[in-house]
Structure 1
Amino acid sequence: MLPELGIIEGFYGPLWSWQERTQLVEALAPEGYRFYLYAPKADPFLRRRWAEPHPEADADAIAGFARHCQSLGVRFGIGLSPFEIFNHFDDDARAALAAKLAWLDRLGIRDLAILFDDMRSDTSALAATQADIVHWVAERSAVDRLFVCPSYYSDDSVLDRVFGERPANYLEDLGRLLDPAIQVFWTGEEVCAREISPGHLARVTGQLRRRPFLWDNYPVNDGDRMSRHLHLRAFTGRPADNARHLAGHGINPALQPTLSQIPALTLVACYRQGKGYQYGAAFVSAARATLGDALATQIQRDLLLLEDSGLGRLSREKLAELQRRYQTFDHPAAREVVAWLAGHYQVTDDMVQTQ
């Protein structure tokens, strides 16, 4: 059983080009990826400066990509992060949000996500306030489907350490107060979950009073530590039986759009093959389909260096050797490896704190 699969472009760090997004969606749409949520943290007009309009050229590019997704049978949506709006949902905030929703309607998007992730709260009734905001949006938006990302979107205690302790019964209250038609994102027991089990999803379903819509933070590699590693290996820890416990499954891709296709394809194999799934064989198959035999073989040989050792443990000599090696390949994935080796994909703490 294949759940609804899609891409959630929700990472910190450098923005992709529209050509890169187009190539990714064209590669994955025939394999079962049926939605694309545009929500990069680096787009300031969706997060820190959300109340300001996008520049005309950017708006035209988003609209053009939305039309292209539709031509491929892929739902296109926007993830809007009205930064800390739950701390001051006053008349000015309502007016700005209404204007933003009108602009989104003009784009013709089908999905809208209101994202409350990675923000601090000084609101006592956080779940009730957020539910009110989402319902206010629902009354004024023409989208087919509405999502919300909670402030506490995982069991992971790192959220409490960074953004303050979660209110008691936050998840249960949010699930009780939200209209059942509204989808709720969830990342698992951890922000970047090593495993997501049917038992865990069943428990969260009870808390939310609906099946969670999985925001899977693999193969994403943003942040200072993770951006020093390429996430290339096949999906593990996502048993096919999860499908019956999920409303859908979106993956947050790596900073490298072409290389992200490799794990993305293995997730399809994981669901389709069920107990017959072998993650090593799935990686080889996906790498060959994405890269061709020669480059796939080279990536497989260097997997320990690229994914496990990472930039922090590669000597200057080894970095230079790898750069020379991948410069011999005329392929966008090889160019991504070369750029990563040169540090062009490094995400700093300052970027995470200011995007």
Structure 2
Amino acid sequence: MTPELGIIEGFFGRPWSWEARAQVVRFLAPHGYGFFLYAPKADPFLRRRWREPHPEAELAAIARLAAQCRDAAVRFGVGLTPFELHLAPEGDWRGALRAKLDTLSGIGIDDLAILFDDMRGDVEGLAGIQAEIVDFAASRGIASRLLCCPSYYSDDPVLDRAFGRRPEGYLETLGRLLDPAVEIMWTGEEVCSREFSPGHLERVAETIRRRPFLWDNYPVNDGAIMSQHLHLRAFTGRPAAIGPLVAAHGINTASQPLLSLIPALTLAASYEQGTDYRYGAAFRAAATAVCGEDLARRLEADLLSFQDRGLDRISNDRRAELQGIYAAFAHPAAEEVIAWLDGAYSSSGEDVQTQ
């Protein structure tokens, strides 16, 4: 069974353009991608400056994207991080949150995600504070689906090193306190999980008292380390057998929107084909559908350099040679490769702290 698939624009660094977002929605909708969650870390008004209103032009652009999603029969959602509110939940935080939610309500959203990821979490009573924030957001009734990303959204101990040791029984308490209708996001055994097994997902579901909503950190390539790589290969380690065990499966995409379409198509193929899925053939089919046959062959030839070796291990002479090769392709996906080779996507500003 194929679960609901979707796109999460939830990475650090250079965000997508509005045109690219709409293009991705239109392209993937026929392939089972039924939701788009707008949550770029670069939007300060959804994160560190969440108490401030969006500039009118930005808010209008979000509203246009919401309308474009509706036209494609795709759910549109916004990921809001009430940044560090759980560290000092005193004062009139409800008034500030109400104002932000009322603004989002005006643009029309289907999904609202309250995100507590990638900030300090070693706080006494963390689950209770966060449940209170989520419950308040739910009471505003601005979306038909409410999602929550916990502070500790994976078993990965790297989160404890980066954000403080997780409180005892944190996930169990959060799952007990949150309304069963609230979906809880999960990245797996690792922040960037190499596989999702049925046994793991069953254990997580028991802990949080609901099927997990997968936030799959592939093909994301943000941060100082991963931005040096293009994640193009087909999905593996996501067997079709996990479909009934998850509430939905969203993928956190790469910084390159068109190239992200390639692995996105292979995830849909993995669920559809089940045990007949072959990741090499899936890559070739997806790359051809996105880029055309000639460019797809070229990308396959360069997978080792782009995905495994990375930009910092490609010599300047080889970079120049590759830029010339890809310049011969009159295709926007080739332009993304050239920009990556030129360092345009290299991490800057706020990096992923878990890397």
TM-score relative to the length of structure 2:
0.98
Counterparts of 1:351 and 1:11, CA distance in 2: 10
Counterparts of 1:145 and 1:342, CA distance in 2: 40
Question: 1:97: Cα distance to partner?
Answer: 0.5
CA shift digits 1:196-227 (9 cap, x unpaired): 11110000000000000000000000011110
1:74 paired residue number: 74
- RMSD of equivalent CA atoms: 1.0
Query: Are residues 351 and 155 of structure 1, via their aligned partners in 2, closer, same or farther at CA, if it must alter by over 3 Å?
Result: closer
Question: 1:352: Cα distance to partner?
Answer: 4.2
CA shift digits 1:54-89 (9 cap, x unpaired): 110110000011011001000000000010111122
Counterparts of 1:129-278 in structure 2, within 5 Å, are 129-278=129-278
- Asked if 1 retains the 8 angstrom alpha-carbon contact of 2:121 and 2:165, the reply is no
Counterparts of 1:259 and 1:290, CA distance in 2: 8
- Asked if 2 retains the 8 angstrom alpha-carbon contact of 1:266 and 1:286, the reply is yes
Counterparts of 2:163 and 2:145, CA distance in 1: 28
Question: 1:186: Cα distance to partner?
Answer: 0.2
Question: 1:170: Cα distance to partner?
Answer: 0.6
TM-score relative to the length of structure 1:
0.98
Question: 1:123: Cα distance to partner?
Answer: 2.8
Alignment pair present for 1:26 and 2:21:
no
Question: 1:269: Cα distance to partner?
Answer: 0.4
Counterparts of 2:92 and 2:57, CA distance in 1: 27
- Asked if 2 retains the 8 angstrom alpha-carbon contact of 1:223 and 1:349, the reply is no
Counterparts of 2:50 and 2:113, CA distance in 1: 13
Counterparts of 2:26 and 2:53, CA distance in 1: 28
Residue segments in structure 2 that go unaligned for 5+ positions in a row: none
**What SS is found at the alignment partner of 1:50?**
coil
Paired letter, 2:203: R
Counterparts of 1:88 and 1:109, CA distance in 2: 28
Paired letter, 1:143: A
Question: 1:122: Cα distance to partner?
Answer: 5.4
Paired letter, 2:202: A
- Asked if 1 retains the 8 angstrom alpha-carbon contact of 2:147 and 2:185, the reply is yes
More displaced stretch, 47-56 vs 343-352: 343-352
Counterparts of 1:156 and 1:132, CA distance in 2: 26
**What SS is found at the alignment partner of 1:96?**
helix
- Asked if 1 retains the 8 angstrom alpha-carbon contact of 2:10 and 2:252, the reply is yes
Counterparts of 2:68 and 2:349, CA distance in 1: 34
**What SS is found at the alignment partner of 2:250?**
strand
More displaced stretch, 304-313 vs 184-193: 304-313
Counterparts of 1:343 and 1:93, CA distance in 2: 40
1:283 paired residue number: 283
**What SS is found at the alignment partner of 1:228?**
coil
Counterparts of 1:336 and 1:142, CA distance in 2: 36
**What SS is found at the alignment partner of 2:146?**
strand
CA shift digits 1:243-283 (9 cap, x unpaired): 01000000000000000000000000000000000000000
CA shift digits 1:2-33 (9 cap, x unpaired): 10000010000011110010111111001110
- Asked if 1 retains the 8 angstrom alpha-carbon contact of 2:33 and 2:74, the reply is yes
1:346 paired residue number: 346
Paired letter, 2:226: M
Counterparts of 2:106 and 2:316, CA distance in 1: 51
Counterparts of 1:266 and 1:332, CA distance in 2: 20
Q: Which runs of 4+ in 1 moved over 6 A?
A: none
Query: Are residues 341 and 78 of structure 1, via their aligned partners in 2, closer, same or farther at CA, if it must alter by over 3 Å?
Result: same
Paired letter, 2:117: D
Paired letter, 1:225: I
2:48 paired residue number: 48
**What SS is found at the alignment partner of 1:266?**
helix
Counterparts of 1:325 and 1:237, CA distance in 2: 32
Paired letter, 2:228: R
2:119 paired residue number: 119
Question: 1:350: Cα distance to partner?
Answer: 4.2
- Asked if 1 retains the 8 angstrom alpha-carbon contact of 2:12 and 2:350, the reply is no
Paired letter, 2:296: A
Paired letter, 2:10: G
- Asked if 2 retains the 8 angstrom alpha-carbon contact of 1:224 and 1:349, the reply is no
Counterparts of 1:351 and 1:233, CA distance in 2: 24
Paired letter, 1:329: F
- Asked if 2 retains the 8 angstrom alpha-carbon contact of 1:101 and 1:141, the reply is no
